[in-house]
Amino acid sequence: MASETRANLKPLSLHVPEPKFRPGDEVDFADVEVPPAGAARRPDTADRADSFTELAYTLVRVLDDDGKAVGPWDPKLSPEVLRRMLRAMALTRAYDERMFRAQRQGKTSFYMKCTGEEAVAVAAAFALDRDDMCFPSYRQQGLLIARDWDLVDMMNQVYSNKGDRLEGKQLPIMYSTKEGSFFSISGNLATQYPQAVGWAMASASKGDTRIAATWCGEGSTAEGDFHSACTFASVYRAPVILNVVNNQWAISSFSGFAGAEATTFAARAIGYGIAGLRVDGNDALAVYAATQWAAERARTNQGATLIEHFTYRAEGHSTSDDPSQYRSAQEYGAWPLGDPIVRLKQHLIGLREWDEERQAAMDKELAEKVRAAQKEAEKNGILGHGLHQPLDTLFEGVYEEMPWHLREQQRQMLAEEQASGRPWARK
Amino acid sequence: MNMIQAINSAMDVMMARDPDVIVMGEDVGFFGGVFRATAGLQKKYGKTRVFDTPITETGIIGVAIGMGAYGLRPVPEIQFADYIYPGLDQLVSEAARLRYRSAGEFTAPLTVRSPFGGGIFGGQTHSQSPEGIFTHVSGLKTVVPATPYDAKGLLIAAIEDNDPVIFFEPKRIYNGPFDGHWDKPAKNWSGHPGGEVPTGYYRIPLGKANIVRAGEALTILAYGTMVHVCRAVVEEAGVDAEIIDLRTLLPLDIDTIEESVRKTGRCMIVHEATKTSGFGAELSALVQERCFYSLEAPIERVTGFDTPYPHSLEWAYFPGPVRIGEAIKKIMKDA
């Protein structure tokens, strides 16, 4: 009988991943493999995806420990472009600092920083054309900033004030601007992935030359939409760049819960037969070079590229999160890939195109710029001061034309406002 | 035309009129669809406008949303309504809300076609009527045609509509009207006025019901296959019922419903879908709220039972002539 023979077998055990370090632990990242900068080869953009699969397991790195750009992926950007990139990254950080504090001051309900991940969005934006369509997650505010989007406009959204282009309908940071080629952010994870592929397919089917790019975190790769997007991207050779920002953490879950113990996220590309690159996400030049390479593949009908940006989420998941409850406070300090802004700054200094004085002056100028923008935005009101949109806008935009049942509910709400004796709306 | 041909014709007309209309889904390309609804379209309009997709409903809807954001007007097909659930997140969280959450900057002008309803021995996963799931979602429109003529006119209107439309096609009446008498020979659409379909462009506005039989004694609200079943039962029973084919469930033609119930004083709601929290509950609540002082009897709901759709016991499950007939007797007993 089966039960008798099974008595000789060792019992099965269930593996539940556990991060290496928990609060209070000493951190040692010695086992995080960091290949030397310049070591990864750069295939021709016309090469078949299956001819460079090793690039999904290494790290494309350009900036070495001394901040020198080395190897075949060096995009050889002019000092002027490098300085603009550095500035956009620093501005992103300054903006985050200010908005985080605004949330703590009760000026808005919610905020999410991208500290430590500025290169992932900013350098990519520099490598894309401005009318390439971005389908971001909630942690790529650097795309807007790199595209010189108006900070006041962004803040208006965070404050849900009367200048908010989204009419107070969306949670703070869920930006959207068609003019900025920045697709409406959704709270539902990874849904933007197949949408980006569809946009890219549409561009291809129309004989357009624009491409799409999308971003999700490593945690979101576990969603079914990630799989369907990769399948569609592969099947139709969609001109799309699929970015996975592996910042090691999905709220409190370490990347092992998305499968990182077994393989890399870039290696997912291999199974779909699309190009896969694993990139040092704190190396702005590597991010730029990989994006530029993937964009060239897309624009020459070579199809999609999946880029894993290996980085670290330096701060809490959001203003509602306290990372000290689940990870060691030492982690970010010990992270072997450093800080993307510091690394690009050192590179420019090494080129004698920048110095600490100019950096300090720029930081001061950017802080002032953000402060001025904040003052300007706050003239339109802050969330803490109540409602800023005319009440009846609540019902607008559900459909192109308002059906009778929404008109009825709109009338009911306005009657409630009148009955309350204290007008809710400040028009 | 039968309903398949009418639906095919609607897509043909719209693809010829608008180069941004594209058709996609499982088996819709070369093969022309498992129900032949897209037959010939790929040959006529090319592979970049009519194409087969991988078997992933969330992918099909998600990709269509992205295409819509680009500026195309996609008409994705979900092979059976029973298989629309993997695409639900994209429909509910994305398509339905895109206009609202972007304050009108991005829209999802897609029309999701899907064969739906029972009466074909489809068992649990080829018979469902999930319309109530979609009418519950703000931002979606839901349409169910009952004749080939309506199917074409409504589908053209849906494709032209700038909001996402769920277009459910009752597959039991693809080839002919069905009166609920499953044991009698099937009829086809020839000879039925709803089978006379112009070959060119015409549209039936969304949100407008159709009074298929005028009457004074009772108002029956139905859609899809049940319109034909109700009509047959009413004629057999000799009741002067007014039968309203809703055609669009959301937005609903409330004026036509109110006017009818105020006139007749009685209201019966018939659908194939399961009863609890089904669309009939919404209809019943609306009629009760708006026509309370005209009602002479409690509102009756005749629906599928609250079970998964069975295979062998299909005709016991299906709200057919006997169940509808009994409900008519009940609602008319004090008349």
Instruction: Please give the ipTM for the structure prediction.
Output: 0.97
Q: How far apart are CA A365 and CA A272, in angstroms?
A: 46
Whose CA is closest to A236, among B24, B175, B277, B13?
B24
Burial level of A296, CB count in 10 A (0-12/13-18/19+)?
middle
- Whether B282 sits among the annotated catalytic residues: the reply is no
Q: What are the phi and psi torsion angles at A214 (to 5°)?
A: -135, 160
Residue A68: CB atoms within 10 Å: 15
pLDDT grade for A391, boundaries at 50, 70 and 90: confident
Whose CA is closest to B37, among B110, B111, B113?
B113
Question: Which residues of chain A does B45 touch, with a Cβ-Cβ cutoff of 8 Å?
Answer: none
Q: How far apart are CA A193 and CA B95, in angstroms?
A: 14
Is the Cβ pair A133, B102 closer than 8 Å? no
Q: Which residues of chain B have pLDDT under 70?
A: none
A172, pLDDT greater than 70:
yes
- Picking from A131, A228, A388, A389 by the largest number of B CB atoms within 10 A of its own CB, the best residue to mutate is A228
Whose CA is closest to B114, among B68, B41, B164?
B164
Please tell me the predicted confidence (pLDDT) of residue A422: 73
Per-residue pLDDT tens digits for A57-77:
999 999 999 999 999 999 999
Does the predicted TM-score (pTM) go above 0.90? yes
Q: How far apart are CA A122 and CA B76, in angstroms?
A: 35
Per-residue pLDDT tens digits for A246-294:
999 999 999 999 999 999 999 999 999 999 999 999 999 999 999 999 9
pLDDT grade for A5, boundaries at 50, 70 and 90: confident
Is the Cβ pair B70, A178 closer than 8 Å? no
Torsion B280-B282-B285-B286 (CA) sign? negative
Contact criterion met (CB below 8 Å) for A139 and A87: no
Per-residue pLDDT tens digits for B204-242:
999 999 999 999 999 999 999 999 999 999 999 999 999
Contact criterion met (CB below 8 Å) for B151 and B10: yes
3-state secondary structure A91-104: HHHHHHHHHHHHHH
> Angle between the B3-17 and B148-160 helix axes, to the nearest 10 degrees?
30
Please tell me the predicted confidence (pLDDT) of residue A426: 46
Count CB pairs under 8 A between chains A and B: 145
- From the list B66, B162, B254, the residue facing A196 with the nearest CB is B66
Is the Cβ pair A400, B98 closer than 8 Å? no
Tokens coding A9: 């077998």
- From the list B58, B105, B254, the residue facing A176 with the nearest CB is B105
Q: How far apart are CA B177 and CA B155, in angstroms?
A: 19
Check if B137 contacts A (Cβ < 8 Å).
no
The alpha carbon torsion through A275, A276, A281, A287 (nearest 10 deg) reads: -20
Is the Cβ pair B62, A186 closer than 8 Å? no
pLDDT grade for A425, boundaries at 50, 70 and 90: low
The alpha carbon torsion through B33, B38, B42, B45 (nearest 10 deg) reads: -160
